[in-house]
Structure 1
Amino acid sequence: MGVEILTGQGFWHALVWFAAALGVFLLSLAIWSMGRREFRRGTEAELPFVSGERVEDARVGAPHLYWGFAEALKPFLERLRNFHSGFIGDYVGWFAVILAVILLLVMA
């Protein structure tokens, strides 16, 4: 049930794409123009509504943000940390081996 556009120039006819982009722009402009005019920047109207409560900005540090993820994967991450050598030649070698395996799988 695909829609086929017969332009004589194939799918990438520039005028068809320009007309489609113009149509999307005009539709977006029409929806935007129906917005409320009384909105003013720099007022409380910009703030998120959280049940009428004023909420202070929360700061969550990266170690706390990923704590559960790191804790759940701790055994796996410890094995990776022990495997880590820091030598770029090791990583290039592993990359070459994995690339060769992927190429063999794709070409087979």
Structure 2
Amino acid sequence: MATPLTDKFGLAQARAHLRLDPDDDDPMIALYMEAAVDRVEQHIQAPLGRNVADVGAQEDVGIPPSLKAAVLLFLGDFWENREASFDHKMIENRAAEALMAPYRTNLGV
């Protein structure tokens, strides 16, 4: 079942990134995709698909490729570690952090 977020990103692209077959677990992929989008939006403090230079903008301008890649990196992390329990602190994804850095808003607030 697709949601507006997964429609924008494309479940096919998510499946390809996760190296899954076309009929594998769409509801779980969508759940982790939404969690990954939420993680990126929290980091940049702006909604994806809006003009992040103007947080109040209502116009959908698409998702920059670097933010889309960050979402996919987090999706992969969430998918790989969906059943794991950690005895250590989970390390942030440095590649995703670097991709998101130019889009952060409200720095110092």
Name the TM-score, length of structure 1 as normaliser: 0.19
Name the TM-score, length of structure 2 as normaliser: 0.19
Bigger RCO of structures 1 and 2 (CA < 8 A, at least 6 apart): 2
Larger radius of gyration: 1
